[in-house]
A and B are shown apart, each in its own frame.
Chain A
């Protein structure tokens, strides 16, 4: 399997060349185009070969993910016997990044997952009670195992190493190392701050590790749009 991230950085698409035996697992709805001979099989977002109870558990987890975390209920597996190409794109403008995992882990925020290959496990992790204050709830996807992970951002990405503590608007977080501790806080600045500062919930990271930031934020976009609506 080979891949190319084209048309970056702002409207990146992922082009994957599939050989016999390759499987690309992608977020439902992300396909742009494919060679006619590329096969697409839709399945529940659960580990392959899980068995009945595994599948039931996966069904419930998938439902939770759909309604709370915005991840799709289903994923598409793309394969091609004779060799072919499939192109995927996310919904928002921005980049696509690839991360090779060798038995390590990475935490992704909601909506950042695009596709993966190899032997990767995708688990949901809860952000804590304060996370419920965020309109969409605060769930993270923990990706672990060995394989390639393709994730997206709204806007450009910047990797920021944490030295001491770093406060980040939670809508601007794409991914972070699980070695970091984090607390979810109100933005600060007192009552006026909560109402007027415009900053949503913030995540306060501490420890050692890297946070991947995205330079745009969907919540801020909708707040910006709202007064301009007809």
Chain B
């Protein structure tokens, strides 16, 4: 399967071209732009319905995924994330997993296993987002809101706003906290931040989805107005 990233860097879109019948790509629900009609599309939950139900019961998280399978060589699928921004292709190898923000996982080869692990007692992200662990051998496509900025972490480490975290490599330890002391706790406007230590790579996104959601919130119609209009 060939993967190309088009329309970079602001509206990146993936074109996956299958080499053989039966090849598949697994993508997050809602990301299909177009496909040759003969490509089969099946929707499922990570690991199958039963495994997902078990996970939900035990407090884990689930992702809705679509599997696109080729019926002939040369067929294509176009995938795009919801937010504007870039996409990068990363590889996982046995022994070298990747931690990915659940909202940043766009697609991956079927050989990559997705483990829904949620980060820390304090919670890593809000709004039902969680940290995904990608293991196995294969390619994953990760998207960002904004541009993707890699940071090589070593020495004193690096602090990143949680909402700007896209993905990071196995060798990093992370510690979630607030910044700015007591006043900062309530007023800094900075949410949770993550202090990364160890050796590895962190990918940040240059825009913050929670900030964007807060910005757009006042433009929503108010319930009273909507009811009055009906």
- In the complex they form, do A and B come into direct contact, defined as C-beta atoms under 8 angstroms apart? yes
Residues in chain A near residue B6, CB distance under 8 A: 156, 158, 215
Q: Check: B13 CB closer than 8 A to any chain A CB.
A: yes
Q: Check: B83 CB closer than 8 A to any chain A CB.
A: yes
Instruction: Mark interface residues in A194-222 (1 if CB within 8 Å of B CB, else 0).
Output: 00111100001000000101111100110
Contact present for A197 and B213 (CB under 8 Å) = no
| Cross-chain contact of A228 among B36, B80, B84, B210 (Cβ < 8 A) | B210
Instruction: Mark interface residues in A4-18 (1 if CB within 8 Å of B CB, else 0).
Output: 000001100000000
Q: Which residue of A lies closest to B64 (CB)?
A: A196
Instruction: Mark interface residues in B75-98 (1 if CB within 8 Å of A CB, else 0).
Output: 000101111100000000000000
Please choose the segment from A112-120, A138-146, A185-193 that sits at the chain B interface, where 4 or more of its residues have CB less than 8 A away: A185-193
Contact present for A224 and B83 (CB under 8 Å) = yes
Give chain B interface residues in 135-192, CB to chain A under 8 Å.
none
Categorize the interface residue count of chain A: 35 or more
How many angstroms between the C-alpha atoms of A31 and B220 in the bound complex? Answer: 24
Residues in chain B near residue A227, CB distance under 8 A: 127-128
Contact present for A158 and B13 (CB under 8 Å) = yes
Q: Check: B123 CB closer than 8 A to any chain A CB.
A: no
Q: Check: B12 CB closer than 8 A to any chain A CB.
A: yes
Q: Check: B29 CB closer than 8 A to any chain A CB.
A: yes
Q: Check: A229 CB closer than 8 A to any chain B CB.
A: yes
Output the least CB separation between B26 and chain A (Å).
Answer: 13
Instruction: Mark interface residues in B1-35 (1 if CB within 8 Å of A CB, else 0).
Output: 00000110011110000000000000011111111
Contact present for B83 and A196 (CB under 8 Å) = no
Q: Check: A40 CB closer than 8 A to any chain B CB.
A: no
Q: Which residue of B lies closest to A225 (CB)?
A: B213
Contact present for A230 and B213 (CB under 8 Å) = yes
Contact present for B80 and A172 (CB under 8 Å) = yes
Output the least CB separation between A112 and chain B (Å).
Answer: 15
Instruction: Mark interface residues in A131-161 (1 if CB within 8 Å of B CB, else 0).
Output: 0000000000000000000000001101010
Q: Which residue of A lies closest to B35 (CB)?
A: A167
How many angstroms between the C-alpha atoms of A134 and B155 in the bound complex? Answer: 53
Q: Check: B121 CB closer than 8 A to any chain A CB.
A: no
Contact present for A189 and B217 (CB under 8 Å) = no
Please choose the segment from B38-46, B53-61, B107-115, B197-205 that sits at the chain A interface, where 4 or more of its residues have CB less than 8 A away: B38-46
Contact present for A172 and B82 (CB under 8 Å) = no
Contact present for B82 and A217 (CB under 8 Å) = yes
Q: Check: B222 CB closer than 8 A to any chain A CB.
A: no
Contact present for A198 and B13 (CB under 8 Å) = no
Residues in chain B near residue A51, CB distance under 8 A: none
How many angstroms between the C-alpha atoms of A92 and B7 in the bound complex? Answer: 16
Contact present for B7 and A156 (CB under 8 Å) = yes
Contact present for A160 and B34 (CB under 8 Å) = yes
How many angstroms between the C-alpha atoms of A192 and B212 in the bound complex? Answer: 30
Contact present for B128 and A217 (CB under 8 Å) = no
With A168-B33, A169-B32, A196-B64 known as contacts, the answer to whether A213 contacts B78 (CB < 8 A) is yes
Residues in chain A near residue B209, CB distance under 8 A: 224-225, 228
How many angstroms between the C-alpha atoms of A223 and B66 in the bound complex? Answer: 17
Output the least CB separation between A228 and chain B (Å).
Answer: 4
| Cross-chain contact of A189 among B11, B66, B82, B220 (Cβ < 8 A) | B66
Q: Provide a sorted-by-A list of 19 A–B residue pairs whose CB atoms are within 8 angstroms.
A: A10-B11, A158-B6, A164-B36, A165-B37, A165-B38, A166-B37, A193-B41, A198-B31, A199-B32, A204-B37, A216-B80, A216-B82, A217-B33, A224-B209, A225-B82, A225-B212, A228-B210, A228-B213, A229-B217
**10 closest A-B pairs by CB:** A198-B30, A198-B29, A156-B7, A224-B82, A155-B11, A168-B34, A228-B213, A215-B13, A10-B10, A165-B37
The residues of A with any CB-CB pair to B shorter than 8 Å are: 9-10, 93-94, 155-156, 158, 160, 164-169, 172, 187-190, 192-193, 196-199, 204, 211, 213-217, 220-221, 223-225, 227-230
